[in-house]
Structure 1
Amino acid sequence: MTSTFKVIAFDADDTLFINEPYFDEAEEKFCALMSNYLSKQSLSQALFQTQITNLPLYGYGIKGYVLSMVQTAYEVSNHTVSTKVMEKIIGIGKELMAKPVVLLEGIEDTLQQLHGKYKLVVATKGDLKDQHRKLHLSGLGAYFHHIEVMVEKEELDYEKLLKRLEIEPENFLMIGNSLKSDVLPVLNIGGTAVHVPFHTTWAHERIDHEIVHENFYTAENVKEIVGLLKL
């Protein structure tokens, strides 16, 4: 990788610290609560469809997820679900908010090596307050020059970010676990992207085709970033 980068951006969830497994666990609990109404597979699909429908209203994050669980519970039960079950659904959301912030292997060492050589930023989606909470608890905040919590991660969103950072696309490197959100839009505007897969990915973030692009790289672990940059 020939480095002309001035800014390196990191996704937060499942790139800096664990996130999706907590939602998978919450979904398991939701399906168990509602098992009298539908099969686990049907409940998971109903919850997913409700989430996707609600994204324009609630955006990404725990609060929108809880509202989608509540709506799904009402709909699959034909509005007969008990108050006790609803209280437990809200409890699932509170448990999500209280989950520990667990850094992914190698992330802090990688940030230490990059810090001072590049301007490091966080470019992520989700609930603004929750993402700032997690970054604070992670202890990683001091490494980052800027934190951007986006409503979406589309080409226009990245173009706005680059404008705020006063850099050109060829000076921008994005690192993340989502091909849909962290890679494709960055490549499309002329930037460079490194995909660091996580062992589980939300269905909404998956794509069904291979990416072939001169500015696209993959790394099995974030620790490989330093080697790709030839530091």
Structure 2
Amino acid sequence: MNFDEIEVIGFDADDTLWVNETYFREAEEEFAKLLSQYETPNKIDQELFKMEMENLPLYGYGVKGFMLSMVEMALVLSNNKVSNETINKILDIGKNMIEKPVELLDGVHEVLETLSKKYKLIVATKGDLLDQERKLERSGLLKYFHHIEVLSEKKEENYTSLLKHLDITPAHFLMIGNSLKSDILPLLNIGAQAIHVPFHTTWVHEQVATSTKHEDQFITASSIKDILEYVKY
């Protein structure tokens, strides 16, 4: 893979720069315990995911939409009999997620500090705008980035629009992220390059298999620090 023509590097945020999905898995476990009198943990988990998918076009990505889906699922599972106390506990689960300290992944500062000396760096992430802005502020990483973009979706058309807006030629753009579906495949499809840095936990909605068409078109790094082995600086 040749990155000689790269001028701008984009980074996903959640589970690429800092921990995120782990907190959702913990919240789902807490939610299942709260609703254990109505269903088994596995069934609750399955039904909550279905509810999230149904609500995604309405609420978008992020903790707030997740909170609303939990509340709605609690009402459905309990046949509208769930207590106010339980609803308050569900809201507390969401608030605790939002208030979590930002836990940077190992090597993030080093990589951004190094690459920012040669390349323009941007953040291209999904999620709730206020929540992502808050996390970026808490992270101490803002100084490295020329631009922050919180996208409603990460599809080819979203990236094409972003690169056009920033006057970036796809061939000169490299995206780094943990999701094949959102951070890698759409970029390859528009002529950009990508490095996949898997996180140990991936949301079911983001899981996708690569086709033989793409298997030789991107690099998979075991950690964000390994990016420095591939990109000149």
The C-alpha deviation readout for 1:15-44, integer Å capped at 9, x for no partner, is: 000000011111110000000001000000
Distance 2:60 2:45 in 1: 19
Do residues 88 (structure 1) and 93 (structure 2) align? Answer: no
Distance 2:217 2:228 in 1: 16
Do residues 141 (structure 1) and 133 (structure 2) align? Answer: no
* Identical-residue share of aligned pairs (%): 55
Give how far 1:208 is off.
Answer: 3.1
Q: 1:225 aligns with which of 218, 222, 227?
A: 227
TM-score by length of 1: 0.98
Distance 2:210 2:75 in 1: 36
Q: Partner of 2:224: helix, strand, or coil?
A: coil
Amino acid corresponding to residue 51 of structure 2 in structure 1: T
Do residues 122 (structure 1) and 133 (structure 2) align? Answer: no
Give how far 1:164 is off.
Answer: 1.2
Give how far 1:213 is off.
Answer: 4.4
Amino acid corresponding to residue 168 of structure 1 in structure 2: T
Amino acid corresponding to residue 103 of structure 2 in structure 1: V
Give how far 1:215 is off.
Answer: 3.2
Q: Partner of 2:19: helix, strand, or coil?
A: coil
Contact 1:172 1:191 (C-alpha < 8 Å) held by counterparts? yes
Distance 1:189 1:160 in 2: 11
What corresponds to 1:49 in structure 2? 50
What corresponds to 2:41 in structure 1? 40
The C-alpha deviation readout for 1:131-151, integer Å capped at 9, x for no partner, is: 000000000000000000000
Give how far 1:165 is off.
Answer: 1.3
Amino acid corresponding to residue 209 of structure 2 in structure 1: D
Contact 1:11 1:177 (C-alpha < 8 Å) held by counterparts? yes
Distance 2:34 2:132 in 1: 28
Matches within 5 A, 1:136-215: 136-210=137-211, 212-215=214-217
Give how far 1:230 is off.
Answer: 3.3
Q: Partner of 2:10: helix, strand, or coil?
A: strand
Cα RMSD for the two superposed structures: 1.0
Distance 1:37 1:116 in 2: 55
The C-alpha deviation readout for 1:184-221, integer Å capped at 9, x for no partner, is: 10111111011000000000000134563443111001
Distance 2:145 2:53 in 1: 31
Contact 1:191 1:215 (C-alpha < 8 Å) held by counterparts? no
Amino acid corresponding to residue 217 of structure 2 in structure 1: N
Q: Which range moves more in the overlay, 177-186 or 207-216? A: 207-216
Q: Which range moves more in the overlay, 218-227 or 145-154? A: 218-227
Give how far 1:116 is off.
Answer: 2.5
TM-score by length of 2: 0.97
Q: Which range moves more in the overlay, 124-133 or 212-221? A: 212-221
Distance 1:230 1:224 in 2: 12
The C-alpha deviation readout for 1:38-82, integer Å capped at 9, x for no partner, is: 100000001100001111000000100000000100011111111
Amino acid corresponding to residue 220 of structure 2 in structure 1: T
Contact 1:6 1:172 (C-alpha < 8 Å) held by counterparts? yes
What corresponds to 1:216 in structure 2? 218
Q: Any runs of at least 4 consecutive aligned residues in structure 1 with deviations exceeding 2 A, and if so which?
A: 208-215
Q: Partner of 1:149: helix, strand, or coil?
A: strand
Matches within 5 A, 1:71-110: 71-110=72-111
Amino acid corresponding to residue 45 of structure 1 in structure 2: Q
Distance 1:122 1:215 in 2: 22
